[in-house]
A and B are shown apart, each in its own frame.
Chain A
Amino acid sequence: GENVEQHPSTLSVQEGDSAVIKCTYSDSASNYFPWYKQELGKRPQLIIDIRSNVGEKKDQRIAVTLNKTAKHFSLHITETQPEDSAVYFCAASNSGNQFYFGTGTSLTVIP
């Protein structure tokens, strides 16, 4: 089955700096890669996603890149703000209802 690895497990950045979280996957059939944000005590929520026919996608301060050859994808947050502090999860899916999640990255943005 699919194996998704996520790094780093914790990340602290100064407000205004950029944050990058990286994930790798093992199954070349995976074709959909969402990112979820989970604030403390709250539910995970989708923030951005990318499909295998696209190399990069951007939505305001967040962007995701995908390298299918190397089987890795990354989340980039620019101009970080304290409200970006949360746990971020990457996931991979090869269609259907089976999502494989990473172990999460706890991001702290220091004011």
Chain B
Amino acid sequence: ETGVTQTPRHLVMGMTNKKSLKCEQHLGHNAMYWYKQSAKKPLELMFVYNFKEQTENNSVPSRFSPECPNSSHLFLHLHTLQPEDSALYLCASSQERAANTGELFFGEGSRLTVL
């Protein structure tokens, strides 16, 4: 499989559950991202990893915990979420410096619903 794949595509969880979102890229990229997409809001950058090192953390609540074991895999661990965390979570990858190489490659997203 090529490109950026995310699992699961849909997830429903209670506020006390613990779950994880997974992202895998087969493009040989070195940077991976988590974005949150909510209705009528801009895409919100949550985390960026370059060469497995976290380089951006946009004041994301600690109930979201990223993990990047290697440059091809990215996880988002979820714990004690709130209903307002319901959104589409998009993973993306790029060469090290996307603004120089020109493109973010997105996955299809994981639709999260928190009850």
**Number of A-B residue pairs having CB atoms within 8 Å of each other in the complex:** 66
Q: Are B43 and A101 in contact (CB under 8 A)?
A: yes
A49 neighbours in B (Cβ, 8 Å): 102-103
Q: Are B102 and A98 in contact (CB under 8 A)?
A: no
Q: Which of A59-111 contact B (CB under 8 A)?
A: 89, 91, 93-104
Bound-state CA distance A83–B49 (Å) is: 34
Q: Are B41 and A99 in contact (CB under 8 A)?
A: no
- CB of B82 within 8 Å of the partner chain: no
A100 neighbours in B (Cβ, 8 Å): 42
Would A97 and B98 be within 8 Å (CB), given that A102-B42, A103-B40 are in contact? yes
B48 neighbours in A (Cβ, 8 Å): 97-98
Bound-state CA distance A93–B103 (Å) is: 11
- CB of B94 within 8 Å of the partner chain: yes
Tally of chain A residues near chain B (CB < 8 A): 27
Bound-state CA distance A1–B56 (Å) is: 14
Tally of chain B residues near chain A (CB < 8 A): 25
Bound-state CA distance A93–B55 (Å) is: 16
A34 neighbours in B (Cβ, 8 Å): 102-104
Q: Are B45 and A98 in contact (CB under 8 A)?
A: yes
Would A96 and B102 be within 8 Å (CB), given that A43-B107, A102-B42 are in contact? no
Closest to A30 in B: B99
Q: Are B40 and A93 in contact (CB under 8 A)?
A: no
Would A96 and B42 be within 8 Å (CB), given that A43-B90, A44-B106 are in contact? no
A100 CB, nearest partner CB in chain B, Å: 7
Contact of B97 among A36, A46, A97 (CB under 8 A): A97
The 9 nearest A-B residue pairs measured at CB: A101-B43, A43-B106, A93-B99, A101-B42, A95-B99, A32-B99, A97-B48, A46-B103, A43-B108
Interface on B for A, CB 8 Å cutoff?
A: 4, 31, 33, 40-43, 45, 48, 50, 55-56, 90, 94, 97-100, 102-104, 106-109
